[in-house]
A and B are shown apart, each in its own frame.
Chain A
Amino acid sequence: MELANTLSQDGESRGGVLAHLERLETQVSRSRKKMEEPQSAQAEESALGTRIHELRRLRDKLRAEVKQHQASVKASTTNVEPDQTLEITEQESLKRKWENVKAILQAYRFTGISGKLTSRGVCVCISTAFEGNLLDSYFVDLVMRKPLQIHHHSIPVFIPLEEISAKYLQTNIQHFLFTLCEYLNAYSGRKYQADRLQSDFEAFLAGPLQRNSLCNLLSFTYKAEPEGQSFPFCARLLYKDLTTTLPTDVTVTYQGSIFF
């Protein structure tokens, strides 16, 4: 369309593209003729030469300006530096603060109950301990909805989670978590004690330690001295209260007669 416009502007309405190409061809042949003339070539040469000089002059001028600017920048770096370092220290202090907060969040597990917000709600971590020894951690992933639901968890199947949630989950979540914490800490403590008895007092045990999943019934035969002629005692420990780590009943027998 542009082509048609240029044609009409020039007043020459002959043909279309082909006519235009013809004109371009004649232009080229004309310019070629010009270039073949040595005089015009020389003139052109000198023109280009002056152009080069000019450009070189301009380049040198710009170079000088750049150098000057750099020198002035260097001179005033003493004024500029504090701002830059201030930026760096701000960044560093923020980073340090962020890492500090992250570390505090990670250390929260030492309090026994900690949690992390999830897309659905919150994932609560119950970390158990006994007599200064850190033991297993258990998780409850809660979905924040009415009614509150447990999405999934790592509570062992023999801990009465359904009972505890039926009682407290909807009404008093704090009580729910504390009760669960009680049960889990007690279980972890009993398990730890049973494991220690089995491993550390192997020499005193006359047979295998009999236990159950909750570690609330322990039955074993032991000797007062690891070697020698001491008589074996049969001990039976019952933990009727699942929230404690101490037995509620202890029976020690010797050859069928009960001591206490």
Chain B
Amino acid sequence: MDETVSEFFRRTILKIPLTEMMTILKTWNFLSENQLQTVNFRQRKESLVQDLVLLCEENRASLNDAALLDIIYTQFHRHQKVWDVFQMSKGPGEDTDLFDMEQFKSSFKKILKRALKNVTVSFRDAEENAVWIRIAWGTQYRKPNQYKPAYVVYYSQTPYAFTSSSQLKSNLPLLGQALTIASKHHQIVKMDLRSRYLDSLKAIVFKQYNQIFETHNSTTPLQERSLGLDINMDSRIIHENKTEKERVQRVTQEIFGDYPQPRLEFAQYKLETKFKSDLNGGILAEREEPLRCLVKFSSPHLLEALKSLAPAGIADAPLSPLLTCIPNKGMNYFKIRDK
């Protein structure tokens, strides 16, 4: 086995936490059960990694096998990457999309290899007819850098692709081109949507975040939602502003619904607006150039935090549509300019 491949294996296996080692190796399915049994998983990590690398050498593991292991590790730790969303579009009046996964994979790889001689492309099929693509970029004279790969997650016959923010931004147009052509689309556009939580991004663009529907077959009637006030708690407690509290709850429920919100970490608003003032005169009012400022809301779970603002009494209900439109519009980067 090549030195570089061996080192790549060592560093990839070293990344895996000991608690997940067995699960990931089993998912990888490259080392047999018998081989895994010969390894002592209770020894120090460095020695364990050495043993595993030796086993890989025995099995004549290739760069592709190592890349596959890297994909599996990333799938388990998808939150460690920040994901962007791209939207593709077809021309009008296209024929039925007869998507062939093998054709897509070979087409994608061919386009990249034609443009860049030194590139490693690996695929792993995932659930719901999706594919995870790992791309290690090189240049014309340098071998691919296996330690800074880009990932693309693509669900077949959809116009959306999710990419991990690659450090090598210069290769982004090529990646976009390969995706578009291989999936038989015409155009690709980067959406103003970014998050660590791939599943939330998928829920937002596929519009899967609100899956509560009223039917005659449902056993729990929707009217029995607790208002969170627990009015029957104790007769000695009197709730002041009960009507206002109920109104706030109702408005919040109308906007945010009863379903769990998709998870985002921030919303960013870039303002480029002229200063507006009621008072005539003043230094800023005469300023011709627009003021530029950036407002960023951060939270471990932004949408749940926004949902709880009005009931907590911190903000008025209804909230500004700039905040509540985030999942609907599929954006968490906004540019606000004067009309």
Residues of A within 8 A of B (CB): 102, 105-106, 108-109, 114, 116, 118, 123, 125, 139, 141, 152-154, 157-158, 210-214, 216-217, 219, 238, 240-242
Contact = CB atoms under 8 A, between A and B. Distances in A.
Can you list the 3 inter-chain pairs with the closest CB atoms, starting with the nearest?
A: A139-B213, A158-B157, A105-B216
B207 A217 contact: no
Interface of B: 95-102, 128-129, 155-158, 160, 205-208, 210-211, 213-217
Instruction: Indicate the member of B96, B99, B100, B128 with the most A CB atoms within 10 Å.
Output: B96
Given A157-B207, A241-B96, A213 B155 contact: yes
Contacts of A216: 96-98
A213 B207 contact: no
A109 B217 contact: yes
B156 A242 contact: no
**Residues of B contacting A: mostly:** loop
Contacts of A214: 97, 99, 157
Name the prevailing secondary structure of the A interface residues. Answer: mixed
A116 B215 contact: yes
Nearest to B202: A157
Contacts, number: 75
Nearest to B95: A240
B61 to A, nearest CB: 22
Nearest to B103: A217
**Which of B100, B102, B214 has the most A CB atoms < 10 Å from its CB?**
B214
B215 A213 contact: no
Contacts of A212: 98-101, 129, 156-157
5 contacts: A109-B215, A118-B214, A141-B214, A157-B205, A216-B97
B100 A213 contact: no
B142 to A, nearest CB: 36
A216 B309 CA distance: 46
Nearest to A208: B125
A163 to B, nearest CB: 10
Contact of B98 (A102, A105, A153, A240): A240
B329 to A, nearest CB: 14
Nearest to B209: A152
Contacts of A210: 100-102
A219 B101 CA distance: 10
Contacts of B207: 152-153, 157
A139 B217 CA distance: 13
Which of A102, A116, A241 gathers most chain B CB within 10 Å?
A116
Given A153-B207, A157-B158, A213-B155, A242 B213 contact: no
Contact of A213 (B96, B157, B210): B157
Contact of B216 (A108, A217, A240): A108
Contacts of B155: 157-158, 213
A29 to B, nearest CB: 46
A123 B211 contact: no
Contacts of B208: 154, 157
Contacts of A217: 98-100
B102 A213 contact: no
Contacts of A240: 95-96, 98
A235 to B, nearest CB: 14
A211 B129 contact: yes
A210 to B, nearest CB: 6
B210 A152 contact: yes
Contacts of A125: 213, 215
A187 B207 CA distance: 19
Contacts of B215: 109, 116, 123, 125, 139
B129 A213 contact: yes
Contacts of A213: 99, 128-129, 155-158
Given A157-B158, A242-B96, A116 B216 contact: yes
A238 B103 CA distance: 14
Contact of B213 (A105, A141, A241): A141
A125 B208 CA distance: 16
B95 to A, nearest CB: 8
A240 B98 CA distance: 7
A197 to B, nearest CB: 15
Nearest to B160: A157
A110 to B, nearest CB: 11
Nearest to A211: B129
Contacts of A114: 216
A107 B30 CA distance: 51
A123 B158 contact: no
Contacts of B97: 214, 216
A128 B207 CA distance: 21
